[in-house]
Amino acid sequence: MRSSESVRKKLGQFPHVPLSLLPTPLYRMDGMSAMHDGFDLYVKRDDQTGLAFGGNKARKLDYMMADVVSQGADCVVTWGGLQSNWCRQVAAAAAKLGMRTSLALFEGPTSIEGYDGNLLLDSLFDADIRVFEAGDIGNMLELASVRHVIEPIASELRSEGMTPYIAPIGGSLVEGSMRGPWGALGYVGAAIEIADQSNELKVQFDSVVLATGSAGTQAGLLAGARLLLPDTRVVGISVYGSSATVSGYVRAIGDRVLEEMGAADKLQDRDIIVIDDYIGEGYGVFNSQVGDAIRTLARSEGLLLDPVYTGKAMVGMVDLMHKGYFREGENILFLHTGGTPALFPYREQITDGLLPPVVR
């Protein structure tokens, strides 16, 4: 195990631009802990990273946008779902740095009409927004599945005299314009914060639970945990892909991060925990369990989850506690990865039949 200072020093050697507000708070969830006797539940508030309503993507963009600058690019091209948190924060980061953003947004069967949530924010950041039907694109996490859309956009920008940077979704897979797992480095930084904050609180976390989609957050955090928190499990609750698929991305990205950090070892099978039991009917598809989780956290902690990522991760964490996956007495840290703007376009599903009539 390395010291926080040595890992911090190594991480500091990588170029980055300070887009996120760090460190984020970490504290005990007293209400939730009281509701689940036998567990001490904590939250790491990465919804408060500051950039465009916050979220985990800000840490990634600290490193990825430095690569954009170093390559002399003046435009970022990326993609995601219609309510993509990633695209929202990319657009904000580019706007802050005086760059243009082109977003390819894919509309699925549960799309929501009109400019709302993240789509509204994308427009406020003056992103070039292009909407496509998801159709049969397959695995949206890989550039190969969307190349037929992304390459024409990049070619169009080049014909206008611009220098586009093709940013993989999540900013951690080594593809497009990226030559390293730069986004995931941000979550080595998060591991440093957790190690420092756990020492301040005099609490050793047995498990960290998070929503995992494009895998960069889990991979970076897991690599950081290998260096600093070897006794802490990192449990990913998948919101998009199968356990096998997401685990493959976690391994590929995590091993590259460890290599960049100068570590000789690689991730082992036992390190990579991805649970795909809580995806429900699909990515971004709302269900009543998610609604219950959102309302419970709001009313017990004053904490807002989102319906796509953290809501499903909280459903998974609580269910796993009930099933005995976590040992009684464990200290469990929930990583809140943001996504709050998505609450608004899902308002009807969240409040369906629950709101009293307005009294005038």
CATH of the domain at 112: 3.40.50.1100
Q: How many distinct structural domains can be found in the chain? A: 2
> For 198-222, how does the pLDDT look when each residue is reduced to its tens digit (9 = 90+)?
999 999 999 999 999 999 999 999 9
Q: Which of 110, 137, 166 is the last residue of a domain?
A: 166
| pLDDT for residue 136 | 72
pLDDT category at 359 given cuts 50, 70, 90 is confident
Kindly state whether residue 360 falls inside one of the protein's structural domains. no
Kindly state whether residue 137 falls inside one of the protein's structural domains. yes
- Residue 130 shares a structural domain with residue 43: no
| pLDDT for residue 110 | 60
Neighbouring C-beta atoms of residue 359, cutoff 10 Å = 4
Kindly state whether residue 174 falls inside one of the protein's structural domains. no
Q: Is the pLDDT of residue 297 over 80?
A: yes
Domain residues for the domain of 47 are 4-56+181-351
3-class SS at 110? Answer: coil
- Residue 225 shares a structural domain with residue 274: yes
Average pLDDT, whole number, for the chain?
95
Region 51-79: mean pLDDT is 98
- Residue 226 shares a structural domain with residue 341: yes
Pairing of strands 40-45, 26-28: antiparallel
Region 260-280: mean pLDDT is 96
Kindly state whether residue 176 falls inside one of the protein's structural domains. no
User: Residue with structure tokens 């010291």?
Assistant: 3
- Residue 225 shares a structural domain with residue 345: yes
Neighbouring C-beta atoms of residue 261, cutoff 10 Å = 20
Distant-in-sequence, close-in-space partners of 109: CB < 8 Å, separation ≥ 6? 134, 282
Region 300-306: mean pLDDT is 98
| pLDDT for residue 130 | 96
- Among 103, 97, 89, 92, which Cα is nearest to 72's? 97
pLDDT category at 91 given cuts 50, 70, 90 is very high
User: Residue with structure tokens 């406020």?
Assistant: 124
Report yes or no: 305 and 35 within 8 Å, Cβ to Cβ. Answer: no
Instruction: Examine the residue annotation and report whether 84 is marked as an active-site residue of this protein.
Output: yes
> For 108-142, how does the pLDDT look when each residue is reduced to its tens digit (9 = 90+)?
766 566 789 999 999 999 999 999 988 778 788 89
Which of 4, 6, 70, 84 is catalytic? The answer is 84
Distant-in-sequence, close-in-space partners of 9: CB < 8 Å, separation ≥ 6? none
| pLDDT for residue 140 | 87
Q: Which of 166, 198, 223 is the last residue of a domain?
A: 166
